[in-house]
């Protein structure tokens, strides 16, 4: 069971990831049907002369081979375009957070609150506690409230990075001199891990991302203590 889970998508923690998982399953089903159909036809061509003649002769089969791929592409394109629109939409964010990629750590700035900014470094293996995850835990987590629309403003200070959290369906390039943005919301509390998914140098694999989702009440208390 653990091996099967490792090759599947992570459990979704946001509406965006739920839609991405649905589109993945939808497209995979279409690909499986196409693969089975083509495999069956290829096998039939080897052993059945009638099928061979039917598939190579006649105008009707040419019309079918033209129409079927077009219909298939429509079934894939419609949910795909809808999903692209949802991913790019910034809808009334309640909190804006700016993240800056460095070699090799992340910085976070809570733009809606004064004097709240910090760096987030990976915890060295020599300092790990029993409850920490190797190469994934950081000294300062990004704290956000769940069921709240968050806008992320993402850039970099040196080279191109990529701010990626798979369970949230988030992957945005951090480009020097450019400010990218995206929005998401988390539907439950917990810890969510990610990593830079752009090859950004020697320590590319040592700049993880950790998001801690808490209730809005506890988030307000956390903000009050930092102010």
The pLDDT score that the predictor gives to residue 8 is 74
pLDDT of residue 131 exceeding 80, the answer is yes
Average pLDDT, the chain: 85
pLDDT of residue 193: 93
What is the tally of helices (H) and strands (E) in the chain?
5, 10
Q: Which CATH superfamily is domain 95-226 in?
A: Cupredoxins -  blue copper proteins (2.60.40.420)
User: Could you tell me the CA-to-CA distances from 9 to 23, 136, 184, 207, 213 in Å, in that order?
Assistant: 12, 18, 18, 22, 20
> Is residue 159 exposed (0-12), middle (13-18) or buried (19+ Cβ within 10 Å)?
middle
Tracing tokens 């910085």 back to the chain, one arrives at 107
Q: Whole-model pTM?
A: 0.79
Q: Per the structure block, which two tokens stand in for 171?
A: 């992957």
Categorise residue 201: left if φ over 0, alpha if ψ from -120 to 50, beta otherwise: left
Judged against a pLDDT cut of 60, whether residue 128 lies above it is answered with yes
Whether pLDDT at 113 is above 70: yes
Q: What confidence score (pLDDT) does residue 51 get?
A: 62
Q: Which residues pair with 194 in a beta bridge?
A: 209
Give 52's pLDDT tier (boundaries 50, 70, 90).
Answer: low
Model confidence pLDDT, tens digit, residues 5-48: 566 777 788 888 888 888 888 899 999 998 998 888 777 777 76
pLDDT score, position 55 = 64
In this structure, are residues 199 and 104 in contact, taking their beta carbons and an 8 Å threshold?
Answer: no
Over residues 116-142, the mean pLDDT reads 88
**Each residue's pLDDT tens digit, 14-24:** 888 888 888 88
pLDDT above 90 covers a percentage of the chain that reads 28
pLDDT at 3 over 60: no
Q: Rounded to an integer, what distance in angstroms lies between the CA atom of residue 19 and that of residue 204?
A: 29
pLDDT digits (tens, 9 = 90+) for 135-162: 889 999 999 999 889 999 999 998 999 9
CA nearest neighbour of 150 among 201, 217, 103, 93:
93
Q: What are the residue ranges spanned by the domains of the chain?
A: 2-88, 95-226
Q: For residue 133, name the pLDDT band (cuts at 50, 70, 90).
A: confident
pLDDT at 66 over 60: yes
Report residue 1's pLDDT band, with 50, 70 and 90 as the boundaries. Answer: very low
- Average confidence (pLDDT) over 82-97: 81
């Amino acid at each position: 069971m653990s091996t099967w889970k490792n090759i599947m998508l992570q459990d979704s923690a946001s509406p965006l990831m739920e839609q991405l998982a649905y589109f993945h399953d939808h497209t995979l089903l279409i690909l499986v049907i196409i693969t089975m159909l083509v495999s069956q036809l290829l096998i039939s061509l080897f052993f059945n002369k009638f099928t061979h003649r039917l598939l190579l002769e006649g105008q009707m089969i040419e019309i079918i081979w033209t129409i079927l791929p077009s219909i298939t592409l429509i079934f894939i394109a419609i949910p795909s375009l809808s999903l692209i629109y949802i991913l790019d939409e910034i809808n009334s964010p309640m909190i804006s957070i700016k993240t800056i990629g460095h070699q090799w750590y992340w910085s976070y700035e809570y733009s809606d609150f004064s004097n709240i900014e910090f760096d987030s470094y990976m915890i060295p293996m020599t300092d790990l506690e029993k409850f920490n995850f190797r190469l994934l835990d950081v000294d300062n987590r990004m704290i956000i409230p769940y069921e709240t629309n968050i806008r992320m403003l993402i850039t970099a200070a040196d080279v191109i990075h990529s701010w990626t959290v798979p369970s949230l369906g988030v992957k945005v390039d951090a480009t020097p001199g450019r400010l990218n943005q995206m929005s998401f919301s988390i539907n439950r509390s917990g810890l969510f891990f990610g990593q830079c998914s752009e090859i950004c140098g020697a320590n590319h694999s040592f700049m993880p991302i950790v998001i801690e989702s808490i209730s809005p009440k506890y988030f307000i208390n956390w903000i009050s203590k930092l102010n």
